[in-house]
Amino acid sequence: MSFEEKPGAVIKVPVWLRPWLLLAVLLVLWQIAIQRHPGQLLPGPWGVVGGIADLLRHGLLLKYVVASLFRVTWGFGLAVILAVPLGMVIGWYTRAEMALNPIIQILRPISPLAWIPIAILWFGVGDLSAIFLIFLGSFFPLLLTAMNAVRGVPAVYVNAGRNFGLRPIDLFVRILYPAAVPQLIIGLRITLGIAWLVVVAAEMIAVNSGLGFLIVDARNAGNRYDLVVAGMVIIGLIGLLLDWGIRSLERVKSFRWSYSEE
């Protein structure tokens, strides 16, 4: 009896390669299925590649990607700048939290998309509307993250900080904020995902550029479903890159402590 591998067994595929191999297999299956049943259900992968090439040729791809990223940067960035400090202060002062909690809890479950009519009413069709919607979509998750993060800071750090004579402002800057950073990074990551979802939806209605607009426009202007799927693929890839970007924060040495301890 032995557990030796039989000679002639399949070549071992390295672990990192496996998901890519699976992806390739699925793409091939997709292409084969499309060729057997040519119809209007879905363009094939090859058609999608053609669509992306088309977009590149017309200079639209870069333009739309930049437009979408521009809106996300502003909407998300403003939300971070406002919601994180505000959430930390609200979370720290119990009275502020008790006063504001009902308002926050009512506003929070309203989808940012429900604000589209109001956004257009206030800001018209254009960048500002989209930025406003992304801001709303990011603000509440970030506010709640910051509130929870600051409440979760162990008392021992706060006491140590007070022992060294920190005034309230220094307590926030030198203790509460750094101690909350690992929680905040998780919140940033989730929220950036939300922001990227919202920008596509907002661009379908409130502007006429960007990846969301590309998708609606390709359908309306001649049923170019190869461009629709091309837009979807680009959205997925950029979302992945954004997530990678923010995850690289987790590797910063002074942020990493909560992942390595215990």
Partner 1 sequence: MESSVAASATRIAVQVEDVGMIFTRDGKQTLVLDNINLEVGEGEFVCLLGPSGCGKSTLLNIMAGFLSPTSGTVRVGGEVVQGPDPRRIVVFQERGVFPWLTVEENIGFGLAALDRKERQHRINHYVGMVGLKGFENSYPSDLSGGMKQRLEVARALAVNPDMLLLDEPFGALDSITRLTMRRELLRIWEAERKTILFVTHDIDEAVQLADRVVVMSARPATIQQIVTIDIPHPRDLSSPRYLELRDGIFQQIGLAHHV
Residues that bind partner 1 in the complex, under the rule CB under 8 A: 154, 156-157, 159-160, 162-165, 174-175, 178-179, 181, 253-258, 260-261
Exposure string over 163-183, b if 16+ CB within 10 A, otherwise e: eeebeeeebbeebbbbbbbbb
206: which residues sit within 8 A by CB, 6+ positions away?
116, 119, 120, 125, 126, 129, 130, 133
Q: How far is the CB of 171 from partner 1 (least distance, A)?
A: 12
CB-wise, 31 or 258, nearer to partner 1? 258
Q: How far is the CB of 156 from partner 1 (least distance, A)?
A: 5
Q: What is the DSSP letter of 252?
A: S
CB-wise, 19 or 154, nearer to partner 1? 154
Residue 186 phi, psi dihedral angles, 5° rounding = -60, -45
Q: How far is the CB of 87 from partner 1 (least distance, A)?
A: 19
CB-wise, 121 or 160, nearer to partner 1? 160
- Check if the beta carbon of residue 204 is closer than 8 Å to that of residue 216: yes
CB-wise, 74 or 255, nearer to partner 1? 255
**Residue (of 93, 259, 86, 82) closest to 182 by Cα position:** 259
Q: How far is the CB of 75 from partner 1 (least distance, A)?
A: 29
Q: How far is the CB of 79 from partner 1 (least distance, A)?
A: 24
CB-wise, 160 or 237, nearer to partner 1? 160
Helices (H), 108-173: 116-123, 127-151, 155-163, 168-170
